[in-house]
């Protein structure tokens, strides 16, 4: 590769990775750190604690359900028309607007908080479908693990930096001119929206739009999208390793997603202070940066699947440990363990799927990948909400997540990743004029 070509390729990779930096602020400040306890302690302050936890679980499930149902059709349309970046922009706009609207949530506004969060989450999840689908186009086959890992590492760094600023606002509001901590939290939501917009710019400026894969006998994009989707369902057995991976991913992503989304609302329920929880999440972000990169290197040595096994084993321990959590230092220990494996599990899952997905149908296939995580995002929080409702406590819900990790590991052992990658190479070679190098 010529130096000029190598430099251009690296700029494209870096621009793609910067979107992880941009959107991770939503995952850290909004989803994980501040909105769940703010919802429990302020927006839903007049509701019983367990009921606030249940409503939050249902809200998360609703957001994931909408994206899961819509994603495959939009993915097929984006592949057909070559409009992945346009779909990212559309969903990003929704996410940013309703994230900013969270600024207006005050005491007792639990219904508005749910509506704004659901819409922002739909925008975030929808944009991620098309962002992830660019990975096989941005990264060369031999570097796909490393590019995916780099994106997650930058996400930890970017999300962590803004989270530190937001935490300072919350802990010392007077230093920054805020009348109280609640106002500081609301301004933090607004800062996420601004951060998201600013750092998404490189993606739109530098990452090229992959060419469309037009069907000769189908012109209308919506009709083509449904046609491609039907063809994918009919021919899914042709991609049996990819399909088996999706089932395994669906299960273990259920546990991972629920831990991410429900950790702080669970912590608020059992009496752990917001400052302790958010500080622990800053620790998670800090540990996540080097550990995500470590798992990228580990995957080179022991294989991607074996590295994923290791992360899921740690998550199983975390789920069991969560049952016994009662003090801030317990939360800190579990946050440290989450930071150790969270980025590695997600980045390597994304890259393993991307290596087995044909480029000409990347958005379509990644919509199914994201469907797995979205339906996982439905089942886990829904189970969490139901158990909290019937048991009057969320402790048993935490332990129940172990089944997703254990069964996910067992199913992942049945995936032949080399066979899946070989099939993707054959499909890419058939369509090489359309997909490029």
- List, for residues 222-239, the tens digit of each pLDDT value: 565 556 556 666 655 678
- List, for residues 400-433, the tens digit of each pLDDT value: 778 888 999 999 999 998 888 888 888 777 765 4
Q: Are 41 and 268 in contact (CB under 8 A)?
A: yes
Q: Is the dihedral angle over the CA atoms 64, 70, 73, 78 positive or is it negative?
A: negative
Q: Is the pLDDT of residue 378 over 80?
A: no
Other CB atoms within 10 A of residue 271 CB: 10
Longest dimension (CA), the chain: 65
pLDDT at 126: 84
User: 344 or 187, which is more confident?
Assistant: 187
Q: Is the dihedral angle over the CA atoms 217, 223, 229, 235 positive or is it negative?
A: negative
Other CB atoms within 10 A of residue 223 CB: 13
> pLDDT-derived band of residue 64, with 50, 70 and 90 as boundaries?
confident
Q: Is the pLDDT of residue 89 over 80?
A: yes
Other CB atoms within 10 A of residue 416 CB: 14
Q: Rounded to a whole number, what is the distance in angstroms from the first to the last CA of the chain?
A: 12
> pLDDT-derived band of residue 113, with 50, 70 and 90 as boundaries?
very high
pLDDT at 80: 65
- List, for residues 125-138, the tens digit of each pLDDT value: 889 888 988 888 89
Lowest mean pLDDT of 207-211, 299-303, 408-412, 421-425, name the range: 421-425
pLDDT at 239: 80
State the alpha helices, DSSP H only, in 26-143. Answer: 35-38, 49-81, 84-101, 110-133, 135-138
Q: What is the mean pLDDT of residues 208-219?
A: 65
Q: What is the mean pLDDT of residues 179-188?
A: 95
Superfamily of segment(s) 14-203+232-429: MFS general substrate transporter like domains (1.20.1250.20)
Distance, in Å, from the CA atom of 142 to the CA atom of 148, rounded to the nearest integer, reads 12
Structure tokens at 255: 């546990």
């Amino acid at each position: 590769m010529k130096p000029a070509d190598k430099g251009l390729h690296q700029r494209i990779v870096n621009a793609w990775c910067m979107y992880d930096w941009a959107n991770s602020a939503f995952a850290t400040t909004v989803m994980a750190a501040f909105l769940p306890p703010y919802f429990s302690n302020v927006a839903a302050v007049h509701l019983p604690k367990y009921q606030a936890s249940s409503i939050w679980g249902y809200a998360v499930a609703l957001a994931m359900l909408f994206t899961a149902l819509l994603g495959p059709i939009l993915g097929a349309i984006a592949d057909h028309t070559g409009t992945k970046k346009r779909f990212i922009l559309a969903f990003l706009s929704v996410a940013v607007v309703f994230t900013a609207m969270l600024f207006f949530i005050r005491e007792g506004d639990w219904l508005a908080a749910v509506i704004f969060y659901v819409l922002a989450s739909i925008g975030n999840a929808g944009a991620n479908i098309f962002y992830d689908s660019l990975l096989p186009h941005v990264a060369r086959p031999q570097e796909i693990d490393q590019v995916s890992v780099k994106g997650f590492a930058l996400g930890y760094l970017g999300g962590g930096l803004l989270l530190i600023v937001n935490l300072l606002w919350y802990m010392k509001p007077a230093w920054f001119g805020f009348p109280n901590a609640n106002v500081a939290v609301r301004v933090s939501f607004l800062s996420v929206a601004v951060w998201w917009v600013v750092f998404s710019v490189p993606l739109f400026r530098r990452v090229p739009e992959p060419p469309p894969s037009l069907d000769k006998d189908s012109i209308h994009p919506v009709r083509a999208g449904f046609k491609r989707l039907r063809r994918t369902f009919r021919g899914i057995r042709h991609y049996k390793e990819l399909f088996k991976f999706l089932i395994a991913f669906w299960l273990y992503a259920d546990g991972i997603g629920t831990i991410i989304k429900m950790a702080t609302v669970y912590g608020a329920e059992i009496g752990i202070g917001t400052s302790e929880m958010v500080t622990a999440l800053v620790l998670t972000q800090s540990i996540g940066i080097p550990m995500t990169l470590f798992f990228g290197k580990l995957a080179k040595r022991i294989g991607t699947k074996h590295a994923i096994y290791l992360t899921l084993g740690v998550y199983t321990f975390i789920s069991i440990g969560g049952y016994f959590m009662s003090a801030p230092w317990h939360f800190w220990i579990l946050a440290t363990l989450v930071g150790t494996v969270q980025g590695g599990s997600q980045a390597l899952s994304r890259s393993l799927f991307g290596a087995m997905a044909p480029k000409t149908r990347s958005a379509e296939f990644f919509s199914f990948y994201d469907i797995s995580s979205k339906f996982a995002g439905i089942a886990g929080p829904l189970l969490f909400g139901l158990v909290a409702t019937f048991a009057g406590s969320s402790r048993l819900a935490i332990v129940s997540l172990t089944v997703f990790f254990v069964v996910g590991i067992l199913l992942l052992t049945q995936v032949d990743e080399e066979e899946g990658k070989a099939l993707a190479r054959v499909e890419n070679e058939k369509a090489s004029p359309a997909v490029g190098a």
